[in-house]
Amino acid sequence: MSSIFSFFKIVIYIPLFNALIFLSNFMPNHDLGLGIIALTIVIRFIFLPLSIKAQRSQRALNAINPHIQAIKEKHKHDQAAQGAAMMQLYKEHNVNPLAGCLPLLIQLPILIALYQVFIAGLNPQSLGMLYPFVQNPGSINPLFLGLISISGRNIILAILAGVLQFIQAKQSMAYMKAGGANPQMAALNTQMLYFFPIMIVIIGWNIQAGLILYWITTTTFSIGEQLYLRTAK
């Protein structure tokens, strides 16, 4: 287990921390908040092809949902026949049911590391992990735009994160409905449409503003991504 943690720290955590400080060094007053925004955008652009592929795969899966339900009903007493019919259906429509999950599994370790990096970025002792080619700023500037302390709580950022989450969820529902989302998933999305943003506000009020700044940035990026998917052919 310790070897796994060591691998995670050396391969993912420390490089991301160095990237955060590196980007922050280019910001006015070494603004760590702007560094968080910049690093989040860079990470999202790196994973953009995977993210778009996952969403398109999910939409394609939704589109053939009536056929899936028909197969389940026809072969409800024969799991082997049901599985074979499903595989044939996926093959005919060139759909991979696992394509939407794989990108998320790949991104999960990165997201966990980013969460820890943003916390570590507020700790001056963490600067000892910097690579020789990354300039040591000497101290951490916890003020975002010189006004908001990202080391403390901020209700305005928490509310903004909740509002953006609502917009993103609403947008995602419209995109999936256009692809023919199944009724069960549509009902779940409707429930989460209001519940999840409220939870984001509550959680956001109780954690460091730097982490909420990350959530605001990644949600805004997701909104832009959804706009692209709606207009792209």
Please state the rounded mean pLDDT for residues 181-193: 62
- Mean pLDDT score of the chain, rounded to an integer? 80
- Total domains in the chain come to 1
Q: Which of 52, 61, 66, 65 is closest to 98 using CA atoms?
A: 61
- pLDDT attached to residue 180: 52
Q: Which residues of 155-184 are buried (b: 16+ CB within 10 A; e: fewer)?
A: eebbbbbbebbbbbbebbbebbeebebbee
- The amino acid present at 182, given as its one-letter code, is N
Confidence of residue 17 (pLDDT cuts 50, 70, 90): confident
Confidence of residue 78 (pLDDT cuts 50, 70, 90): confident
Residue 61 pLDDT > 90, yes or no? no
- pLDDT attached to residue 23: 92
Residue 209 pLDDT > 80, yes or no? yes
- pLDDT attached to residue 6: 79
Q: Which residues of 83-121 are buried (b: 16+ CB within 10 A; e: fewer)?
A: eebbeebbeeeebebebbeebeeebeebeebbeebbebb
Please state the rounded mean pLDDT for residues 207-224: 89
Please state the rounded mean pLDDT for residues 65-69: 77
pLDDT above 90 covers a percentage of the chain that reads: 12
Q: Could you tell me the residue range of the domain that residue 50 belongs to?
A: 2-231
Can you give the pTM of this predicted structure?
0.80
